[in-house]
Structures are given as structure tokens and as C-alpha cells.
Structure 1
């Protein structure tokens, strides 16, 4: 059903999204969560509160013109994948190494 919605360019029903969030939250050992990109509107917020029975501490809604959102999305990529595989892999490895410098080295 989710794949069908995505193919049709439709938004997955709030109840489905909330159920998936609820499962992930229940499986987690964390007590607090930051949910990015949800709720997208008042109906989503109400579905979240009605299904999960938790009222969030706060919800931030950002208003942004569509043109600015498009610009930001198109400039999010940090890695140019239009290069030889080894170069792309090295670029990915560098990103991970910066995030976790003490972690075991990523190997191909």
C-alpha cells in the first residue's frame, strides 16, 4: 500500500505513518524522540495524538516557499556519484570517518 501511494505521488495515510512511528518508538530503548518531517499538518498531529495517546512537548512548523524548498533539496547531495566507483566509495568513506573517527574503517 505504501509503495502504491509513492508510485501515485500520494501521501501515505497518517494512520499508517503513525503506526510505523509507534512500532519504531516501542522497539527503541529511548524515552524521547525527534521526529523529522511529521506531522506535516494539523490532521497528522491529531492522528499522532489520538493513536499514540501522547501529546508532544512541542511541535515546530516551518513555513518556507516552494522554490526555496526545491533549492534546498536539490543542493543537499554531498557526494558526486558521477565518478568512478572507487572515487565515490572514498568520498562516502570520508563522510563516515568524519562522523565516527574512532570507528572501524569501512572496507569495500
Structure 2
């Protein structure tokens, strides 16, 4: 499935594709919850973080560049991220995509909209306290080299500075669906199930969506 190159011929098909973005700070539980959502609601789950790590593992020149950027706790350029995401979506026979860890900044949003001519159905925001996210990252022992305290704190800072403005952008469009991700995995998923069961009918007044900045 090539979202960019299908052109007018694929416009009808494009309109049927449903995309949900899942965003939250590092350690907010995006991957865990996305696996459950995909299983229960029939979405194809794509983790942008995993896509980037797979590119690193390939040993490509792009992968080496991505590795260096991630070690520094910075964000990968939008054109690179969107290109790799599009490649991952190509050839997948699915009309429902759950995209985990994207967009990470306003530039990601613009690149995605410009290249795919699509917007998400809604954006699931996993709102989790920083101390809880830090505790989870330090205890998960997945062997990821970016799970050290120095890089973790850089990632928190990047999230606060870069990702929160995208939350505000989608909030202004009425697309944010926020859940308290500081609770247990099961409790968080119960809140998520309500959102996905109701879909577009799950409208929450803007005043209840106000984002609280993380204090570093």
C-alpha cells in the first residue's frame, strides 16, 4: 500500500484507511497498550521506534545516522521517519493502522500530512507522570542502549519541548483522547477500550483535555 504514489486512482481506497496515532512520553506504555488494542480491535500495529531500530540493525548508512541521533536523545529527521513508516505500510493488507510513537513533533505532523494527504481518526495520548516513566524505563531490562538515566532524561526533555505542541495541535482539532497512563496496565486498557469502542463519538470537552507539562 503506497499512500503517496497511488494518486487519484487510489483516492477512494485512501478514504477508507483509518489511522490512529498513539503518543506519550518514553515509558508511558505505548507498546504494551498497542499490542492489546491491535489484538482486540483488529488494527495493524506499527511502532515507529521499532521501525527505526530495525533500520539501525540493517547496518545501512541511514541506520548509522539514526543510531547516532538516538544515542544523543534527539529526534530523527521527519523525512527519514515518514519515508520508513511509508515503506512499512506498503504491501500490508489492512485498512486500520495503529501508529505507535508518532508524530514526535510538529514537523512530523506536517511531513505526514503533506506526503500521505491523510490525518489520523484520533490521537490516543498516554499521559503518565515523569517519575513513573523513569522507574519503568530503568526496570524493564530490554537491553536497549538508550535505556540509561542520562539518555532517558534527554528523551523526557525532547518530549516536553517537541511532542507537547503536537498534542496541543491535535487538541485544537478535537482529536485528542487522553488517558491516565500512570495506572496499572489493566486499568489503562479499560479506559482505552471505552475510547476505541466509541470511536468518533467519544467527544470530551476541550477544557478536560488541557495538557500538563512535565516538570524536569
The one of 75, 92, 102 aligned to 1:28: 92
1:54 to 91, 108, 118: 118
1:53-88 superposed Cα distances (whole Å, 9 cap, x missing partner): 21111112233232121122234359xxxxxxxxxx
Task: Compare the two structures and name the one with the higher helix fraction.
Answer: 2
Q: 1:42 to 1:62 in 2, by over 3 A?
A: farther
- Number of corresponding residues: 78
- Where is the strand percentage greater, Structure 1 or Structure 2? 2
Alignment of 1:9-48 (within 5 A): 9-48=73-112
Change (3 A) 1:11 1:39: same
**Superposed displacement of residue 26, structure 1:** 1.2
Q: Which structure has the bigger radius of gyration? A: 1
Q: 1:5 to 1:77 in 2, by over 3 A?
A: closer
More RCO (CA 8 Å, sep 6+): 2
Q: Is 1:8 the equivalent of 2:72?
A: yes
- Cα distance change of structure 1 residues 11 and 75 upon mapping to structure 2, 3 Å threshold: same
Q: 1:65 to 1:42 in 2, by over 3 A?
A: farther
Query: Shift in Å at residue 50 of structure 1?
Result: 1.6
C-alpha distance in structure 2 between counterparts of 1:76 and 1:7, whole Å: 18
Q: TM-score, normalised by structure 1?
A: 0.58
Are residues 8 and 77 of structure 1, via their aligned partners in 2, closer, same or farther at CA, if it must alter by over 3 Å? closer
5+ unaligned residues in a row in structure 2: which ranges?
A: 1-64, 143-216
Match of 1:89 in 2: none
Normalised to the residue count of structure 2, the TM-score between the two structures is 0.32
